[in-house]
Amino acid sequence: MTERQEQHYVCISCPIGCPLRLVHEGDQIIEIEGQECNRGAKYARQEFTDPRRTFSTTVPITGAVYGRLPVKLSAPVPRQAIPAAMAAIRLLCAEAPVRLGQVLLRDVAGVAGVDVVACRTMDRVMIAPS
C-alpha cells in the first residue's frame, strides 16, 4: 500500500496564481484543492502526471538582416526534455530566405509531433553598411 502524499503547485493559468495542493497515493490523485476555478485543477493534474513546457531560442542564419533567427517549439515538450531539445536546436543553422512557420527540425529530442519552427520571415538581403 502506497502512502498518501501531497504536492504543492502555483497555478500559472492566469495572473491570480492560486496556491494548489494535490493529494495522491502513488500515481492516484485523491484530491486537488486551493483553485478558484477549474483551470487550477486541470493544471495541477497536468503538472502531476506530465509537466510540459515550451520555450523559444534562436539559431544562426546567414544572408538575413540579422544573424539570428528566432525559433519556437510547435507544442510543449516534457519538462525534462528541455535540455535535450536545446542541444538539438544548437546544431541547427538556417539560410535566408526563411518563411514564418517553416519547420527546421521535426520531432525534436525524440518527442513525436513537436517541431522546431521559425517565428518570423527573414528575407535574403544584400548586406550593405547603411
Partner 1 sequence: MFGRMNRRYDVVVVGGGPAGLAAALGALDSGVSRVLVVEREPEPGGILRQCIHAGFGLHHFREELTGPEYAERFVTQAMDRDIDVAPHSYVTGLAVDSSGHRLVRVLSSRGGLATVECRSVVLAMGCRERTRGAVRIPGTRPAGIFTAGLAQKLLNLDGYLPGRRAVILGSGDIGLIMARRLTLEGCKVEGVFELMPYSNGLTRNVVQCLDDYGIPLHLSTTVTRIHGRDRIEAVTVAPVDEAGRPDAARAWDVPCDTLLLSIGLIPENELSESLGIALDVVTGGPKVDSTLATSLPGVFACGNVLHVHDLVDFVTEEALRAGRFAGEHARQIRRPRDAIALVPGANVRYCLPHTLSADRPHTVYMRAKTRMSPCILRVGNLLERKLRFVVPAEMIHLTIQPELLERFYEDRLQIDLLPVDGGGAP
Residues that bind partner 1 (CB under 8 A): 10-13, 15-17, 53-58, 60, 65-68, 70, 72, 79, 82, 86, 100, 119-121, 130
Cα separation, 84 vs 80, in Å, equals 8
Nearest to 117 by CA among 76, 78, 86, 73: 73
**Shortest distance, CB of residue 41 to partner 1, whole angstroms?**
17
Q: 30 or 75, CB closer to partner 1?
A: 75
Q: Determine phi and psi for 85, rounding to 5 degrees.
A: -65, -45
Nearer of residues 28 and 130 to partner 1, judged by Cβ: 130
**Of residues 60 and 113, the one with the C-beta less far from partner 1:** 60
26 or 60: CB nearest partner 1: 60
Counts of helices then strands in the chain (DSSP H, E): 2, 10
The identity of residue 83, as a single letter, is: P
CB of 60 to partner 1, least distance (A): 6
Let me know: does 22 contact 34? Beta carbons within 8 Å.
no
As measured in angstroms, the least distance from the Cβ of 66 to partner 1 is 5
Q: What minimum distance in Å lies between the beta carbon of 3 and partner 1?
A: 25
- Angle among Cα 80, 40, 15 to the nearest 5 degrees reads 90
